[in-house]
């Protein structure tokens, strides 16, 4: 359980976070923080999970289940076209409080699961560089995964917009999902050479509670975790999920660090690990594998390629990034 005071603090913090990119969520979270009845719904969550984002994901899930409710007019994810106005908060407040037990059930049993497939465009250059060093097909392993969307990295196409060379294209030409990313150069840097394909022989992911994209309830919750006024993110999620459903990767439930070896046991080709926003230090676990491996790490606003093996740990910072895959500044 979470105290009301902490729930209100988390809602205020989320409203501030959302203010730059989500007018709807900033509007709702800021008002929820000032309303003890609505903020009180979040107290059903444990302190480690309670967040404004969780409450709004729960609300999104319930609006999804009632797409003809008047509130859906304010949810672009459901075809709504209204901007936040004087009617939005009263509608939202009444909707949640009338379904208070369902809201509490969701926030007490679910966690926010972010699946930002656009980050594949940030990671592709690092994975391509690792595959070149490995000299052959690789095993791709996503660490701290939720649905494994980054494991489709070799199946997506990429268009990097540059000032120096126009559009740089990578990935398979007829991919179902195309991702766009601005690619800028730091002073003195040269454009990276990006291959058309990366050969991946095996895939695996490990996370505390990986989601099964074939499970309707799990899939609906993943959709609900996408912010409701960012329908393009929802579209990309749906297309990427469709790609992975055709050939699902092996996802292992476990501690992303302590159980890392368990995830890679069946893979007998050079290993390239992926992480994005995990906050984890994989170096000790990678060293314990006792062979040369690579880690494409999108962490703390940087893209790094880390090689771990008998010769020690070699870290190369390739670029600085924006969190959701919009821009790379190559070094």
For the stretch 136-164, pLDDT in tens is: 999 999 999 999 999 999 999 999 999 99
Please report the pLDDT score of residue 322 as a whole number. Answer: 85
Would the pLDDT of 114 be above 90? Answer: no
Give me the mean pLDDT over the 171-197 stretch.
Answer: 95
| Across 62-66, 138-142, 262-266, least confident range | 262-266
Looking at the predicted structure, is the pLDDT value of residue 324 above 90? no
Res 99: pLDDT:
98
Tell me the pLDDT tens digit for each residue of 269-319: 999 999 999 999 999 999 999 999 999 999 999 999 999 998 999 999 999
Paired tokens of 135:
């000299």
Q: Provide the 10 A C-beta neighbour count for residue 266.
A: 9
Radius of gyration of the chain (CA): 21
Q: What does the mean pLDDT of the chain come to?
A: 96
Length of the chain equals 331
Q: Residue 50 pLDDT more than 90?
A: yes
């Amino acid at each position: 359980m979470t105290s009301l005071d902490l729930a209100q603090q988390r809602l205020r913090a989320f409203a501030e976070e959302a203010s730059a990119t989500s007018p709807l969520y900033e509007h709702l979270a800021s008002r929820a923080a000032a309303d003890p009845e609505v903020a009180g719904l979040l107290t059903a969550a444990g302190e480690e999970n309670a967040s404004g984002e969780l409450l709004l994901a729960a609300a999104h899930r319930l609006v999804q289940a009632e797409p003809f409710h008047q509130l859906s007019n304010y949810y672009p994810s459901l075809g709504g076209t209204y901007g936040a106005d004087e009617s939005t908060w009263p509608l939202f407040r009444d909707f949640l409080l009338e379904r208070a037990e369902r809201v509490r059930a969701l926030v007490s049993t679910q966690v926010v699961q972010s699946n930002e497939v656009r980050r594949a465009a940030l990671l592709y250059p690092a994975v391509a560089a690792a595959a070149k060093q490995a000299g052959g097909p690789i095993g791709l392993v996503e660490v701290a995964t939720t649905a494994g969307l980054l494991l489709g990295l070799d199946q997506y196409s990429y268009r990097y917009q540059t000032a120096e060379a126009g559009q740089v294209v990578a990935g398979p030409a007829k991919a179902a999902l195309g991702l766009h990313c601005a690619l800028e150069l730091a002073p003195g840097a040269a454009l990276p050479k990006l291959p058309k394909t990366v050969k991946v022989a095996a895939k695996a992911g490990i996370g505390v509670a990986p989601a099964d994209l074939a499970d309707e309830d799990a899939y609906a919750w993943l959709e609900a975790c996408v912010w409701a006024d960012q329908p393009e993110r929802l579209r990309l999620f749906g297309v990427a999920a469709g790609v992975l459903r055709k050939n699902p990767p092996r996802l292992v439930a476990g501690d992303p660090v302590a159980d890392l070896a368990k995830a890679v046991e069946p893979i007998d080709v050079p290993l390239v690990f992926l992480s994005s926003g995990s906050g984890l230090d994989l170096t000790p676990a990678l060293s314990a594998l006792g062979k040369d491996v690579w880690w494409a790490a999108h962490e703390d606003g940087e893209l790094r390629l880390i090689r771990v093996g008998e010769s020690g740990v070699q870290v190369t910072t390739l670029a600085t990034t924006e969190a959701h895959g919009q821009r790379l500044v190559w070094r």
